Amino acid sequence: MGVEIKVEHLSKSFGKQLIWGDVTLTVPAGEICVMLGPSGTGKSVFLKTLIGLLKPDQGSIIIEGTDIASCSEKELYEIRKLFGVLFQDGAMFGSMNLYDNVAFPLREHTKKSESEIRSIVMEKMDLVGLLGAEDKLPGEISGGMRKRAGLARALVLDPEIVLFDEPDSGLDPVRTAFLNQLIVDLNAQIDATFLIVTHDINTARTVPDNIGLLYHKHLAMFGPREMLLSSEEPVVRQFLNAQRVGPIGMSEEKDADELAAEADQELPPLPPIPLQLEPSNGIPRRSQREPGAWCREHGMTPPPHSFKSDVATPRTSGSTEKSGRTAATA
Ligand SMILES: Nc1ncnc2c1ncn2[C@@H]1O[C@H](COP(=O)(O)OP(=O)(O)OP(=O)(O)O)[C@@H](O)[C@H]1O
């Protein structure tokens, strides 16, 4: 399960406004990728382009041998069945209870009987920890529960790729930590490819296998988590460490005078790279590697105190929840 998304030289404009150009990256099958970027850099446009809701001007998006940037409507319809999408607000129908909301794609897109639908809906509600809440209306539950209900609905057609548009928006840090753990657990369990757009730096630092950063109409960097978290590249360093010093300004990039004024400022040292969040269900992540492996292989010295935890780093089942919790709150 889980398919690769290969994006090559992709560009998107609205009229004369270039949103991003020449984006090339591969989202590996079954792994978790996070896409970051300042507001307005086109992260949502990127997600919509991947599912064919928006047409790129140039480039290709290859999924299972089909280029969805140029395929027919019929092929696109088939490819879309591979996707599940968690929208920012969960995108629930307000007048339907959670059961009917989660059942909706099954009733729309399959010919399954109501008893088959029931067993799938209950299985997905269980996966996201919402069993017992089927009769609630979206307006009667918390934002965190709405996200989980949205996730159950995104999973109901057994997607190979799950796209998350700011899953943590509007959630408090504790709910975000729980949701992140759920995302990592689900990824290990269903083995689908996950792509998450987020502004949450802690999520970006602990959850993904790979991180991308969109900035100033291009993909500034895309690669393994350890590569970006140890990077001294000014934009990457500034964004992943939520710093004011760097090329990114209040509303757009800083001008030459602003950058010159900062030139003598000493940058704070890079913070330690936290441990990657591990599944609490004992199933290893598909791409699980020893902490620091990428840095060692590439001759990079990680920031001091990286990959440390006050608990041992368990790699076996049963003991993973503890380290996951530590990483989530790091
Ligand atoms: N359908 C559209 N027509 C014209 N312009 C659009 C359309 N959709 C998005 N845009 C523009 O594309 C740019 C990128 O928008 P997008 O919502 O993708 O940014 P984002 O990085 O997701 O921002 P945020 O982090 O604030 O959610 C914005 O300038 C937006 O106005």
Residue 321 located in a structural domain: no
- For residue range 3-53, list pLDDT tens digits in order: 999 999 999 999 999 999 999 999 999 999 999 998 889 999 999 999 999
CA distances from 161 to 144, 187, 194, 276, 294 (A): 22, 10, 6, 21, 25
Transcribe 70-92 into DSSP letters.
T--HHHHHHHHTTEEEE-TT---
Q: What is the DSSP letter of 283?
A: P
- Return the ligand 1 atom nearest residue 166 CA: 27
Per-residue pLDDT, 317: 35
57, 21 Cβ separation under 8 angstroms: no
Q: What is the dihedral of CA 262, 238, 214, 21, to 10 degrees?
A: 30
- The verdict on ipTM greater than 0.90 is yes
CATH number at residue 152: 3.40.50.300
Percentage above 90 pLDDT, the chain: 59
pLDDT over threshold 50, residue 318? no
Task: Indicate the length of the chain as a whole number.
Answer: 330
66, 228 Cβ separation under 8 angstroms: no
- For residue range 139-162, list pLDDT tens digits in order: 998 888 888 999 999 999 999 999
Residue environment code for 203-214, b if the CB has 16+ CB neighbours within 10 A, otherwise e: bbbbbbbbbbbb
Residue 132 located in a structural domain: yes
Best residue for ligand 1 mutational test, from 20, 41, 45 (most atoms within 8 Å of Cβ): 45
Residue 11 CA to residue 19 CA, distance in Å, equals 8
Q: What is the pTM of this model?
A: 0.87
Residue environment code for 217-235, b if the CB has 16+ CB neighbours within 10 A, otherwise e: bebbbbbbbbbbbbbebbb
Residue 153 CA to residue 124 CA, distance in Å, equals 8
**Structure tokens given for 220:** 């500034």
Where are the strands (E) in the chain, listed by range?
A: 5-14, 17-27, 32-36, 58-63, 66-67, 83-86, 161-165, 193-197, 210-215, 218-224
Residue 270 located in a structural domain: no
Exposed, middle or buried by CB within 10 Å (0-12, 13-18, 19+), for 269? exposed
Residue 85 CA to residue 330 CA, distance in Å, equals 28
Q: In what order do the strands lie in the sheet with 193-197?
A: 83-86, 161-165, 193-197, 32-36, 210-215, 218-224
Residue 181 CA to residue 163 CA, distance in Å, equals 16
Q: Hey, what amino acid is at 286?
A: R
- Cα end-to-end span (Å), the chain: 31
251 Cβ closer than 6 Å to some ligand 1 atom: no
Per-residue pLDDT, 93: 87
Biggest CA pair distance of the chain: 68
Please give the distance, rounded to the nearest whole angstrom, from the Cα atom of residue 197 to the centre of ligand 1.
13
Residue 154 located in a structural domain: yes
Residue 299 located in a structural domain: no
- Phi then psi for residue 18, to 5 deg, are -75, 125
Residue 266 located in a structural domain: no
Which residue is closest in CA terms to ligand 1's atom 29? 40
Domain count, the chain: 1
- Phi then psi for residue 17, to 5 deg, are -85, 110
Residue 159 located in a structural domain: yes
45 Cβ closer than 6 Å to some ligand 1 atom: yes
Q: What mean pLDDT is reported for the chain?
A: 86
- Return the ligand 1 atom nearest residue 197 CA: 22
Least confident among 73-82, 141-150, 238-247, 315-324: 315-324
Residue of 269, 202, 212 lying closest to 235 (CA atoms): 212
Domain span at residue 149 reads: 5-223
Please give the distance, rounded to the nearest whole angstrom, from the Cα atom of residue 43 to the centre of ligand 1.
8
Q: What is the mean pLDDT of residues 311-324?
A: 36
Least confident among 33-37, 182-186, 230-234: 230-234
Confidence of residue 109 (pLDDT cuts 50, 70, 90): confident
**Structure tokens given for 45:** 């446009």
- Phi then psi for residue 124, to 5 deg, are -70, -35
55 Cβ closer than 6 Å to some ligand 1 atom: no
Per-residue pLDDT, 158: 92
Which residue is closest in CA terms to ligand 1's atom 31? 40
Per-residue pLDDT, 260: 62
Best residue for ligand 1 mutational test, from 17, 44, 88, 239 (most atoms within 8 Å of Cβ): 44
pLDDT: which is higher, 171 or 217: 217
Residue 61 located in a structural domain: yes
pLDDT over threshold 80, residue 255? no
